[in-house]
Structure 1
Amino acid sequence: MTELLSDLPVTRLKGVGAALELKLERLGLHTLQDLLFHLPLRYQDRTRVVPMGALRPGDECVVTGEIKVADLMQGRRRALLCRMQDGTGTISLRFFHFSAAQKNQLLPGVRLRCFGEVRPGPGGLEMVHPEYSRIDGDGAVSVDSTLTPVYPATEGLHQTRLRSLVTLAMQYLQPGTLPDLLPETLRRQWKLPGLDDSIRYLHQPPVDANQDLLLEGRHPSQRRLAFEELLAHHLTLLNLRQQAQQQGAPALPYRGTLVKPFLAALPFPLTGAQQRVCNDVARDMTKTFPMLRLIQGDVGSGKTVVAALAALQAMENGVQAAIMAPTEILAEQHRNNFTQWLEPLGIEVAWLAGKVKGKARQKQLAAIQDGSARLVVGTHALFQDEVQFQDLGLVVVDEQHRFGVHQRLSLREKGRNGERAPHQLIMTATPIPRTLTMSAYADLDCSVIDELPPGRTPVNTVVIADGRRQEVVQRVSLACAEGRQAYWVCTLIDESEALQCQAAEVTCENLREALPDLRIGLVHGRMKATEKASVMAQFKAAELDLLVATTVIEVGVDVPNASLMIIENPERLGLAQLHQLRGRVGRGSQESFCVLMYQAPLSKQGRERLAVMRETTDGFRIAEKDLELRGPGEVLGTRQTGMMQFRIADLNRDADLLPGVREVALQIQQDASLGSAVIRRWLGQGGEYGHV
């Protein structure tokens, strides 16, 4: 019977003992299949000898020649220097670490074959510590028949060892040992090569292989593997959705008894986009399986009103609704909004966060358990085991990217009344690139609020160097003298010269000295929640002109009179975070400004990122750039869940594969055993990340 490479441990290879097994484990290599899926980062060309007269700095190549001079150099660093010629030119070989045997071997008259990187040196071109072998007699110089792979490595595990292990593993690659899980009809349809051929090609590319294509990760053999890996992730999320829908949920039809008076009392009409998304949500909630809907809406697009309407539809049907936010500031903002909107309708808003303790906490827990608390607003405190709902029918998760997948799912468990799960509405003001929506959120339906309420003005963004700080201070003074309010955002709390960041506390003191006529408040993450809330309330009530803050004000702060924001060291923040911060101004009708005050000199990436902020206020364009610069794990905040960690695929590079992946996933999903095999191959037990 054919042994599968996924079942063969690396210890099956000759020379792999316990010590080497541990090193391979650090790279996530446990089986021969893992070794073959450990693809090269790049390739070296050792297939031809390059004449020394044709060498240029930066070349990585094979040269052959005769040592003419070998000297021991006694300088700042002792070195063995050999001058080698081949009839077309000369190159030096420099060794800082060498043994007596090497010194005695590298003598004038000895012929060598060397491989290394060509660099400019004090006496012309040189190679430092090249790989070399001696050429005896007039024997022909041996060159490789394929390109040489360079693999991701780890301490104590060098390229030569990795190459030899992969070569040994390749000997086990026989028909049937690494099953091709994609049916031939699908492979033909999507023009994908076979698995065995792709693996062989990538570890041993022929001399004429297109190295540029390989380096970019766009060779058909690489795309074949990326396609299957993306497929595994997609299938997992589809399974997750299927399981959720099998659970059953309460059907919550639209009745209007609470929704109509709420809409009538609103001081503004809903935008067309809000109405469209509300209809999507209302329709989902009438079904007998759980709604799983993601609402994306840029900063200030009115997602909270949509959440309120969904919560009212749940409460009209006699079930509880829970609103969860990642920070106490944002949760408190929701609590204030919902209280203001719902108290006139006779609905009391329960509140649960880390700071609610003692008798007050017990009282809230009891109200949640007996159902008298119909709407509960809270932080991740809602996940805790002690929180028991009487009949939870709807969960609204705000700023989903701040929570891990497991956390979102564990809140779903709270709604089980027998076998019923609550409907789930997930909201984010961090626009998620379409690429990520199609992959990371394949278990969710998506709605986009792509229209800002009337009266909102676009924010003007200015990028200036820290050297013009005095001008910026004057600008703040002028804005506040005209009756407007301003934010001044610092990226660290404590002074840190190494990071060149102005500390919020020091900045606050300096601004109080420079602007004695202004009322200046300070908010940062290490203050007690009650202190923070008090300062925020003062700012909202216009009792403060200027608020100095760290990024704790990123989400949930709504002060329409604030029309100027200064962000120090913006180069230290992600684009999505800068976009969120900028969204704190421009919430009223007056012209608003965001000043990005950077520390010179800026890196190339820093310049690129700030240019995007200056050029556009389109959250989706900013999100695409953020994905390009930082990668999906960072953008989604899902690194801690083990999700979205790809071995071969790259969501940015391989975005064009996703429509095909989606189509194939829906076909393969009908064959449970095939789907499971694809998931197991790429995610192992990680394929269970969808389960609570």
Structure 2
Amino acid sequence: MTSLEDICVTQLKGVGSALAGKLEKLGIRSVQDLLFHLPYRYEDRTRVVPIGSLRIGDVAVVEGEVMKTDLVMGRRRSLQVTLRDDSGFLVLRFFHFNASQKNQLSEGARVRCFGEVRPGRAGFEFYHPEYQVNPPPMPPANQATLTPVYPLTEGIQQPRVRSLCQQALSYLNRFPIKDWLPPELLADYQLPSITEAVRLVHSPQAGAPVHLLMEGRHPAQQRLVMEELLAHQLSLLQVREQIQAREALPLLPTGDLADRFLDQLPFQLTGAQRHVMSDIRQDLSQPLPMLRLVQGDVGSGKTVVAALAALQAIGAGAQVALMAPTEILAEQHYQNFRGWLEPLGIRLAWVSGKVKGKARKEALAEVASGEAQVVIGTHALFQDDVEFQRLALVIVDEQHRFGVHQRLALREKGVGGSLAPHQLIMTATPIPRTLAMSAYADLDTSVIDELPPGRKPIETVVVSDSRRDKIVDRVRQACREGRQAYWVCTLIEESEALQCQAAEVTAAELADRLPDLKVGLVHGRLKAAEKAEVMESFKNGELDLLIATTVIEVGVDVPNASLIIIENPERLGLAQLHQLRGRVGRGEQASYCVLLYHPPLSSNGKARLQALRDSQDGFFIAEKDLEIRGPGEVLGTRQTGMMQFRLADFERDKGWIEPVREMAPGLMAQSRTVEALIRRWLGENIRYGDV
């Protein structure tokens, strides 16, 4: 029987090969894909607003008579149409127009248009509004409906997508969408059928509750939200199933490596570290691949836990790979692990994009022969020429910087290519519980929720950059008292070159103003060796002040650094600011973090900096970050392409996370249902299980 999945969009009126190509960029190939291309918001065009009542920023429908139409030859040629009603006048401005538009919008024409109010030379303006000439009467209030707004791609405008979706809806009478969820489940939550929900979301009926639709809380929207969250959850459970369908090498704890390692540490493990270690030890002993996420705040001691896991694998005669997202973090791990493991007679290898020529050849030979027991590097470890002899444990740091598919690429490098390596994922970016339950549904989670004794809270102050001189004095005073300081430069531009330039200018200015201090500079364009040299000098106390871009987010541990100044903190995420702040407070003395913002701050900016000032708890800060910026930013998934939702919103819809998590395992046995739901919602996008 034909289904909507089988009907190509080219069957729709007006869709030729050129438009089909553009629709494909939106993941739309079939009529069903089009029906699941959902509006992300609605516009209320149900009433005409008097022009005289408009304010800048309003989005409204106005109607009036064209007073005059002018061709304006400014910097850019534009068509300027002056519209008047009984309460005032408004300019409609078009930078792209043709002769027939100009004739349509001639003096005396009656025009209804929809746009956003902007300030203009002669008063308020609409740029490129949607408009109708000689419009029909507005429907009565009880028959008016909201207008959907869809995600677009280049070359497709809203009216075109709207009309295509309306055409697609006409197919639903003959080809209802297959409902893959059990009827009793829908009845439990009082949710409509999938066909009913899709129809209403694209074309809200007159009299539908406007406020619920505008907020995304209408039962039809929630029906789709629940199914979308479920599809993502099933996809991740499928990943877990695929990985655990392969056996792993059981790594039984043997020998005294762990005891010798703990004896040489100058501190005791915290209770939380011991508890997490016991989870890991248990997992590694099984013939099933471990899939565990260890979350811990800045300075909670995750690296020590990773080292103990590595020692269990080495004790069982296996190899360990540790992968970090940046050269500087990978190098930091390499130095730490060398200091801890070489005295125990363990061989390490360093593999990164910057290791080239003879050094790379030698490192790869050591890895392939098994001589190197621990291999540390960046995503260069994925490359085909990196072959392991007996890889049984993969440790991934800051998982959210990698896509799931990247992490999975290492599973093919397991023992003999048939046994899957155990995976230990670490992050110092605390992930809100709701987000972790969805984004990492394929992983078991452990939390190191206790800081080592002696870590003092860091006092955080929020200061306007008009008081920059006072802050420079404060740096001078701290360094004269024998302490060290960081000064972090951030720029809104993504360009690394501009960030480095800003840091260089700041370093020159501060060196000039603080001639009695030794000032160092670190940024992303320095060679790894130069960066390491400056960091080492700072760590050894040879520099008083380190100017840096955000590369020091995961920098060296300098107990004597007790002051960090972060410029333009309003431009960074809360989680990143919290990470940066964690560079201080590692020694005995009181430590301070100064957030040097550039006024005026938006209310959003104030709320974020206030949250950081009021709390040292990374999990609380992560919840706030999620609330304010959304999951794409918190997880860094804008880059990885993962967890991009069509309709679901983590903050608004977190009430669904727990029920969806409970539903998913029961559905996993129904492979047709799982495949259909994943295909419907994730389409041809990156499938989490694909490598």
User: TM-score when scaled to structure 1?
Assistant: 0.89
**Shift of residue 669 of structure 1?**
0.4
Q: Out of 145, 160, 167, which is 1:147 matched to?
A: 145
| Residue equivalent to 1:240 | 239
Relative distance call for 1:156 and 1:640 in structure 2 (3 A) is closer
Percent same amino acid at aligned positions?
57
**Within 5 A, what are the aligned runs for 1:21-36?**
21-36=20-35
The amino acid across from 1:662 in the alignment is: R
**Shift of residue 327 of structure 1?**
2.3
| Residue equivalent to 2:510 | 511
For the 8 Å contact 2:392–2:415, the answer to whether it is kept is: no
The amino acid across from 1:678 in the alignment is: L
Find out whether 1:535 has 2:549 as its counterpart: no
- Distance (whole Å) between structure 2 residues aligned to residue 624 and residue 640 of structure 1: 21
**Within 5 A, what are the aligned runs for 1:139-288?**
145-152=143-150, 153-154=152-153, 156-174=155-173, 176-288=175-287
Q: Between 622-631 and 400-409, report the one with greater CA deviation.
A: 622-631
- Distance (whole Å) between structure 1 residues aligned to residue 238 and residue 61 of structure 2: 49
For the residue of structure 1 that corresponds to 2:683, the secondary structure is helix
Relative distance call for 1:522 and 1:125 in structure 2 (3 A) is closer
For the 8 Å contact 2:239–2:442, the answer to whether it is kept is: yes
**Shift of residue 34 of structure 1?**
2.2
**Shift of residue 608 of structure 1?**
2.4
- Distance (whole Å) between structure 2 residues aligned to residue 620 and residue 155 of structure 1: 39
Q: Between 621-630 and 452-461, report the one with greater CA deviation.
A: 621-630
**Shift of residue 639 of structure 1?**
3.4
For the residue of structure 1 that corresponds to 2:416, the secondary structure is coil
Relative distance call for 1:464 and 1:500 in structure 2 (3 A) is farther
- Distance (whole Å) between structure 2 residues aligned to residue 331 and residue 218 of structure 1: 44
For the residue of structure 2 that corresponds to 1:417, the secondary structure is helix
Find out whether 1:131 has 2:126 as its counterpart: no
**Within 5 A, what are the aligned runs for 1:599-678?**
599-678=598-677
**Shift of residue 51 of structure 1?**
9.2
The amino acid across from 1:305 in the alignment is: V
**Shift of residue 597 of structure 1?**
1.2
Relative distance call for 1:676 and 1:549 in structure 2 (3 A) is same
The amino acid across from 2:514 in the alignment is: L
Find out whether 1:310 has 2:309 as its counterpart: yes
Relative distance call for 1:513 and 1:671 in structure 2 (3 A) is same
- Distance (whole Å) between structure 2 residues aligned to residue 55 and residue 209 of structure 1: 27
User: What is the number of residues matched between the two proteins?
Assistant: 677
**Shift of residue 687 of structure 1?**
6.0
**Shift of residue 253 of structure 1?**
1.7
**Shift of residue 600 of structure 1?**
2.4
**Shift of residue 53 of structure 1?**
11
For the residue of structure 2 that corresponds to 1:394, the secondary structure is strand
Query: What whole-Å deviation, never above 9, does each CA across 1:545-592 have from its counterpart, x for those lacking one?
Result: 111111111104101111111112222222221111111100112110
- Distance (whole Å) between structure 2 residues aligned to residue 94 and residue 25 of structure 1: 37
- Distance (whole Å) between structure 2 residues aligned to residue 567 and residue 19 of structure 1: 49
- Distance (whole Å) between structure 2 residues aligned to residue 495 and residue 641 of structure 1: 16
Query: What whole-Å deviation, never above 9, does each CA across 1:486-505 have from its counterpart, x for those lacking one?
Result: 11112269999x98997211
The amino acid across from 1:34 in the alignment is: D
For the residue of structure 1 that corresponds to 2:689, the secondary structure is coil
For the residue of structure 2 that corresponds to 1:542, the secondary structure is coil
Relative distance call for 1:441 and 1:133 in structure 2 (3 A) is same
For the 8 Å contact 1:92–1:126, the answer to whether it is kept is: no
- Distance (whole Å) between structure 2 residues aligned to residue 685 and residue 495 of structure 1: 29
| Residue equivalent to 2:418 | 419
Query: What whole-Å deviation, never above 9, does each CA across 1:24-59 have from its counterpart, x for those lacking one?
Result: 334333221122222334445566x76969976657
| Residue equivalent to 1:328 | 327
| Structure 2 residue ranges without an equivalent (≥5) | none
Relative distance call for 1:309 and 1:73 in structure 2 (3 A) is closer
| Residue equivalent to 2:409 | 410
The amino acid across from 1:589 in the alignment is: E
For the 8 Å contact 1:298–1:430, the answer to whether it is kept is: yes
- Distance (whole Å) between structure 2 residues aligned to residue 355 and residue 167 of structure 1: 54
The amino acid across from 1:520 in the alignment is: V
| Residue equivalent to 2:564 | 565
The amino acid across from 1:217 in the alignment is: G
Relative distance call for 1:481 and 1:206 in structure 2 (3 A) is same
Query: What whole-Å deviation, never above 9, does each CA across 1:272-301 have from its counterpart, x for those lacking one?
Result: 100100000000001101101000000000
For the 8 Å contact 1:44–1:61, the answer to whether it is kept is: no
Query: What whole-Å deviation, never above 9, does each CA across 1:442-483 have from its counterpart, x for those lacking one?
Result: 110000000000000111111112222221111111111111
Query: What whole-Å deviation, never above 9, does each CA across 1:77-117 have from its counterpart, x for those lacking one?
Result: 87555655xxxx65657555696898799777x9x684546
Q: Between 675-684 and 187-196, report the one with greater CA deviation.
A: 187-196
**Shift of residue 22 of structure 1?**
3.4
The amino acid across from 1:684 in the alignment is: G
**Shift of residue 74 of structure 1?**
9.7
Relative distance call for 1:165 and 1:255 in structure 2 (3 A) is same
The amino acid across from 1:181 in the alignment is: W
- Distance (whole Å) between structure 1 residues aligned to residue 416 and residue 634 of structure 2: 35
| Residue equivalent to 1:589 | 588
- Distance (whole Å) between structure 2 residues aligned to residue 247 and residue 480 of structure 1: 56
Query: What whole-Å deviation, never above 9, does each CA across 1:133-171 have from its counterpart, x for those lacking one?
Result: 5489xxx87669451423224555444333322221111
Q: Cα RMSD between the aligned structures?
A: 3.3
The amino acid across from 1:147 in the alignment is: T
- Distance (whole Å) between structure 2 residues aligned to residue 609 and residue 635 of structure 1: 13
User: TM-score when scaled to structure 2?
Assistant: 0.89
| Residue equivalent to 1:348 | 347
The amino acid across from 1:131 in the alignment is: Y
For the residue of structure 1 that corresponds to 2:660, the secondary structure is helix
For the 8 Å contact 2:50–2:62, the answer to whether it is kept is: no
- Distance (whole Å) between structure 1 residues aligned to residue 492 and residue 100 of structure 2: 56
Relative distance call for 1:90 and 1:635 in structure 2 (3 A) is closer
Query: What whole-Å deviation, never above 9, does each CA across 1:1-40 have from its counterpart, x for those lacking one?
Result: 3x21122121111122233323433433322112222233
- Distance (whole Å) between structure 1 residues aligned to residue 393 and residue 422 of structure 2: 5
For the residue of structure 2 that corresponds to 1:431, the secondary structure is coil
**Shift of residue 401 of structure 1?**
1.7
For the residue of structure 2 that corresponds to 1:421, the secondary structure is coil
For the residue of structure 1 that corresponds to 2:245, the secondary structure is helix
| Structure 1 residue ranges without an equivalent (≥5) | none
Relative distance call for 1:105 and 1:539 in structure 2 (3 A) is closer
Relative distance call for 1:543 and 1:36 in structure 2 (3 A) is same
Relative distance call for 1:405 and 1:18 in structure 2 (3 A) is same
The amino acid across from 1:620 in the alignment is: F
- Distance (whole Å) between structure 1 residues aligned to residue 526 and residue 62 of structure 2: 62
For the residue of structure 2 that corresponds to 1:685, the secondary structure is coil
- Distance (whole Å) between structure 1 residues aligned to residue 620 and residue 414 of structure 2: 37
The amino acid across from 1:543 in the alignment is: E
**Shift of residue 619 of structure 1?**
0.8
Q: Between 597-606 and 208-217, report the one with greater CA deviation.
A: 597-606
